Amino acid sequence: MTKSLLTWKNDDEFEKNYRIPEGVSVIGRFDEDSVADIQIGTEYGYKTISRFHCRIYNENGNLEIEDSDSINGTYINRIKINPGKKVPLRNGDELRLGELELEVIIK
């Protein structure tokens, strides 16, 4: 079975992994009213992530991401993706949500 993660690391070697379940998941900023399946906490200082920032699609380890017209955008390897368009993710890609940089891990 394929394991898909988004990994965040800071300069102090702290690491946070977000598991990507099969199917469609909403990624967004943690908020008590959030509808996001994968919630990114603001304790990391990343308030530039929208509450409903993007959708990630996982079909047997094949990942695609779709920006939800977020204010601060979604970037893959420093290239901004267009809202509403699914874009494939590959192992090792750099995914940026607002100012938060994550690494795509597919095992």
35-89 residue pLDDT tens = 899 888 766 657 788 889 999 999 988 999 999 999 999 999 999 999 999 999 9
pLDDT at 48: 87
The pLDDT of residue 103 is above 60: yes
CB 2 within 8 A of CB 107: yes
Average pLDDT over residues 16-28: 91
Sign of CA dihedral 52, 47, 76, 103: negative
Is 91 or 99 the better-scoring residue by pLDDT?
91
pLDDT at 44: 60
Average pLDDT over residues 77-105: 93
Kindly report the pTM of this predicted structure: 0.87
pLDDT at 43: 64
